[in-house]
Amino acid sequence: MAQEAAKNSRKFKGYAVLLCILGIVFMFLYSGLQNDQINIIQAFITEDGGGWAASATQLPMTVGNFVCIILTFIYGTLFIKFGVKKPLIIVMIITAIATLGIVAANGLDCNGGAASGNYGLFFISLFVVRCGCMILQMAGFMLVANWFIRFRGQIMGIITMGSPIFSVVGTSVMTTMIANKMGGDYRPFYVGIAVIIVVICIIVAVGIKDTPEEAGLYPDGADHAPLSEANDEVKLTVGEVLKQKKAWLLIISFGAFQFIINACMGSMAVRYMSLGGIEVWLTAVKWLSMGAILGIPMSYVFGFLDDKFGSVKASIVLGLTELIPVLCLMLQPEGGHVGLMIGWGFGVACMTGGVPTMHPCITSFAYGRREYQSANRIIMAIQLIPSAVAAMMMVMLIQSGKGTLAYGILIVIIIIGLIATFAMLNMKDANALDRGLGKDAQRGLEEAKQAE
């Protein structure tokens, strides 16, 4: 008995380590391909350099944002029907092919601008990449929700470090390297992304299981089934979810917080370049990397706060930190300000690490492990509706000289999100007996002993 328990413990730890590594890579690629890559593209395809206009390079991302509203529901439904692995691998192969399409489309300033490019191929490829990368985040979140209950916050905090890491390695280091070492040609960057995606597909196919039960284990490596859930997964309908108050509080709160990410990350290159051209942007990305390095641990901090104090309180802290990058961007003077750039970099790391950490945590808090995906596919789809136009709205306002107004709107949206989050303070964690939080901790331990 003791030997079997020790064997299962080692087995669970092996899966847990692999899930953490894969999760970090998932979030690294998702963060880069969802928003951040447009800053690289728009730095090296410019209207002044003979390339396509910023609005033209932004358009496939914006259209993709709208399509992702539907795809979120479809991906979630596929996960429920077929598990995580099969849909993930198929979509990722398509995404890898599309990244090579961006390479073939060219259009870079250094290669002759629009005259050397194929905008139709560029549009289709960037659109497919935007739509495909969505499944990385959803797959990572569902795997963590399936495998962890008591430690879900800290594990989410580990995997979502991938998002701010991209702010350093992807946006900052790659932009500087492409400009200084590669002559403004980002195509090798996309070839590298395609290779990483193929490697991921192979590892997912042979190395992981959708749930711990498929491996003969229990969540968190426990020796008993979760006490706080039914035996069967609950498949909530759209109507059932939309009738629930908690669903709308989640939609409003994290819909607002996600909107801020899309708005800031999809327009930051345009913002800095409007304050002094490419040189200001290249200076900003240097400080982005330093600020982001300081902020990377914040992903884990939010996860720790979730496990220690609960999802709602941790989400309130997150909402307050979203004010940092918005204020730093709004207050940037002509030519840029180093102090504000550092604050912006740190705020970006808190935001891109914190929102992905807390979104699945608070959804699991409200619905539990068994109802997570059937509710999440609906909630996320609705949240993406306003987020779909966030970056385009910001680009249009900034380019028309109304940057201060644009960031003022974002502050109002953050406040709305915080109000909705505060309204959830009296809700109880759906997996409270297995979470070890507050007065339910001892009760959970006692019932676990009785179950043995």
| pLDDT at res. 103 | 95
| pLDDT at res. 446 | 53
Nearest to 269 by CA among 398, 129, 106: 398
| pLDDT at res. 452 | 44
Token pair recorded at residue 55? 């609005």
Amino acid, single-letter form, for residue 116: S
136: containing domain: 2-451
| pLDDT at res. 63 | 92
Q: How far is CA 138 from CA 112, 166, 359, in A?
A: 38, 18, 11
| pLDDT at res. 232 | 57
DSSP count for the chain of H helices, then E strands: 21, 0
| pLDDT at res. 78 | 95
| pLDDT at res. 185 | 92
User: Mean pLDDT, 10 residues at a time, over the chain (452 residues)?
Assistant: 76 94 94 85 88 90 90 93 95 97 93 91 97 95 90 91 81 82 91 96 94 89 74 75 95 96 86 87 82 79 91 96 95 90 87 86 89 88 88 90 94 98 92 63 48 44
| pLDDT at res. 371 | 85
Total count of domains within the chain? 1
| 358 close to 311: Cβ distance less than 8 angstroms | yes
Q: What is the 3-state secondary structure (H, E, C) of 137-185?
A: HHHHHHHHHHHCCCCHHHHHHHHCCHHHHHHHHHHHHHHHHHHHCCCCC
Q: Residue 207: which CATH number? A: 1.20.1250.20
DSSP string for residues in 339-350: HHHHHHHHHHHH
Contacts made by residues 336-339, CB under 8 angstroms, sequence distance 24+? 336/272, 336/275, 336/276, 336/280, 336/283, 336/284, 338/283, 338/287
Please identify which residue in the block is written with the tokens 């284990």: 217
